[in-house]
Amino acid sequence: MKYAKISTLSELPSVDQLLNTEGLRLPIAQYGRHAVTQAIRHVLSEIRKNFHKKNKTINIELIILRVLSDLENRFTPSLKKVFNLTGTVLHTNLGRAALPKQAINEVVSVAAGATNLEFDITTGRRGERESHVEHLLTELTGAEAATIVNNNAAAVLVILNTFALGKKVPVSRGELVEIGGSFRIPDIMTRAGAILVEVGTTNRTHLHDFANVTNRSTGMIMKVHTSNYTIEGFTSSVPEEKLADLCHQNEIPFAIDLGSGSIIDFTYLGLPNEQTPKEALATGADIVAFSGDKLLGGPQSGIIVGSKQAIEKIRNNPMKRALRPDKMTIAALASVLRLYKQPETLIQNVPCLRILSRKSEEIFRQGKSLIEPIRNWVGNPYLISLVQCKSQIGSGAMPTAHLPSAAAAIKPSANIKNKGRSLKNIAERFRALPIPVIGRIENGLFLLDFRCLEDSKTFISQLEHKQ
Ligand SMILES: *Cc1c(COP(=O)(O)O)cnc(C)c1O
């Protein structure tokens, strides 16, 4: 059937007319009349707005197609799975750590219905939501007590607010960090109601710098792990043991924000040593905070471990109630922490550890089987080869550590004029796949780093269907 061209606004069909067209009968059955009406209204108003701008032909058939695509957009989740081939394992913009299968299963099971989140099954009385993770955290870190909030930024916020509301907090100038995503230590201090006192210089801070400003108006001292950069050369910082002593002489707590927080020793994966929460506590720190979804490999959460007294104070802060995690986070975190009790199988079970420990030869081998499908899908005018590259941990963890890896390097062929545009085009085509593939552009190449690719099969299968 040929549809008449609509050439004036008055010829546009009404919402009712469209609702009664044959082409929208099935969509109404699928999405309901309400949603279809909304989509029609939206499409018609867009057409009216742009009617005189474009000379495009409009007819009923096109309107219906646009309503269908509008409906599809409305009902497709915007948050979805992607392939992280950026080479950054814990990529904050791509959701950081992938959860272990065991954790996913436990999340699904508690999400579906009632749980004993705050209910003691033995006594039949009210229970504590943190009881499901606290014993696991104290066992793994050696701390007396532990509490959790929604992320490490929240942990830092609640710690400062608990111990330094209206009080001074000296921080070394070398640690006034921005973690990205607008988490800046000075800003968070202000919002927590603490008064930041900068001490020392960017590269050197001494104990007397802290001692000079520590008095009755000081709430606490906090050491912030400079996780996304390193200061090298003529540097000096105060040993944590000394800061802890200074705090205890002044009867105030000493806190360490570890940032990434690896519970295990990473040197045996060939990575630089990170201070573990246990080591941080052993320096005399009263409170140690770290992220749940960085090197730990769990769900987004902020973990605070420390002395019974300090943790109790944090728990009693009303702000803590506003920052408490939900049952799905608790289920996932408890599950991941339980995996840490089995060191023999830990690396295999926790995706982020498994991925970080992959050897470059193995990634290279995997890459070999992927180059041909990629070449076929990409087509001309690009040149594709398998190259060595370097992955990084991400999320600010061990910023100077680079992990040898392998990538498909896609390069516009020599006769292409605008190479920059052409690289952006290929990146865009990969992002437009049903499961978007995210790579990185580096030195005139579009790189797909295979370190984080565990599901080669799905990756290839979506390249086999030509767009
Ligand atoms: C990442 C990080 C934070 C913020 O942690 P989130 O879990 O992202 O909220 C705070 N401090 C340091 C040192 C960090 O590295």
Residues of the chain with CATH 3.90.1150.110: 83-91+355-461
Tell me the CA–centroid distance for residue 37 and ligand 1, in Å: 45
What percent of the chain has a predicted confidence (pLDDT) above 90?
A: 78
Q: Which atom of ligand 1 is nearest to the CA of 300?
A: 7
For position 333, what pLDDT does the model report? 98
- Pull the structure tokens for residue 407: 């990538």
Mean pLDDT calculated for residue range 233-252: 89
User: Which string of DSSP letters, residue by residue, matches 283-337?
Assistant: TT-SEEEEESSSTT-SSS-EEEEE-HHHHHHHHTSHHHHHT---HHHHHHHHHHH
- For residue 291, give the amino acid letter: S
Mutate to test the pocket of ligand 1, among 148, 183, 230, 256 (most ligand atoms within 8 A of CB): 183
- Pull the structure tokens for residue 239: 């040993």
Ligand 1 atom 12 nearest Cα? 259
Sign of the dihedral defined by the CA atoms of residues 354, 355, 357, 362, in that order: positive
Report the C-alpha gap between 288 and 212 in whole angstroms. 24
pLDDT in tens, 45-71: 999 988 876 666 789 999 999 999 999
Residues of the chain with CATH 3.40.640.10: 101-349
pLDDT in tens, 416-442: 889 899 999 999 999 999 999 999 999
Mean pLDDT calculated for residue range 150-171: 96
Report the C-alpha gap between 195 and 218 in whole angstroms. 9
Sign of the dihedral defined by the CA atoms of residues 36, 39, 45, 49, in that order: negative
Tell me the CA–centroid distance for residue 262 and ligand 1, in Å: 13
Tell me the CA–centroid distance for residue 92 and ligand 1, in Å: 11
- CATH dotted code for 83-91+355-461: 3.90.1150.110
* Highest CATH level, class, for 101-349: alpha beta
Tell me the average pLDDT of the chain: 92
Report the C-alpha gap between 287 and 256 in whole angstroms. 6
Residue 400 has pLDDT above 90, yes or no: no
With CA atoms as reference, report the closest residue to 169 among 198, 201, 191: 198
Q: If pLDDT is split at 50, 70 and 90, which confidence band does 230 have?
A: low
For position 75, what pLDDT does the model report? 95
Q: Please tell me if the CB atom of residue 257 comes closer than 6 angstroms to any atom of ligand 1.
A: yes
What's the pTM?
0.92
Contact 6, 59 (CB under 8 A): yes
Ligand 1 atom 6 nearest Cα? 152
Considering only residues 226 and 275, tell me which one the structure prediction assigns the higher pLDDT: 275
For position 229, what pLDDT does the model report? 58
Ligand 1 atom 7 nearest Cα? 152
Mean pLDDT calculated for residue range 24-44: 97
Residue 182 has pLDDT above 80, yes or no: no
Least-confidence region, from 185-194, 343-352, 394-403, 455-464: 394-403
Mean pLDDT calculated for residue range 168-196: 85
Ligand 1 atom 15 nearest Cα? 259
Mutate to test the pocket of ligand 1, among 179, 257, 296 (most ligand atoms within 8 A of CB): 179
State the pairing for strand pair 397-412/445-449: antiparallel
pLDDT in tens, 291-307: 999 999 999 999 999 99
For position 234, what pLDDT does the model report? 66
Ligand 1 atom 5 nearest Cα? 152
Q: Please tell me if the CB atom of residue 259 comes closer than 6 angstroms to any atom of ligand 1.
A: yes
Q: 3-class SS at 187?
A: helix
Q: Please tell me if the CB atom of residue 151 comes closer than 6 angstroms to any atom of ligand 1.
A: yes
Sign of the dihedral defined by the CA atoms of residues 145, 149, 152, 154, in that order: negative
The arrangement of strands across the sheet holding 221-224 comes to 145-149, 302-306, 287-291, 254-259, 221-224
Q: Please tell me if the CB atom of residue 183 comes closer than 6 angstroms to any atom of ligand 1.
A: yes
Burial classification of residue 262, based on how many CB atoms lie within 10 Å of its CB (0-12 exposed, 13-18 middle, 19 or more buried): buried
For position 186, what pLDDT does the model report? 87
Q: What are the angstrom distances between the C-alpha of 342 and each of 66, 106, 279, 408?
A: 54, 18, 20, 35
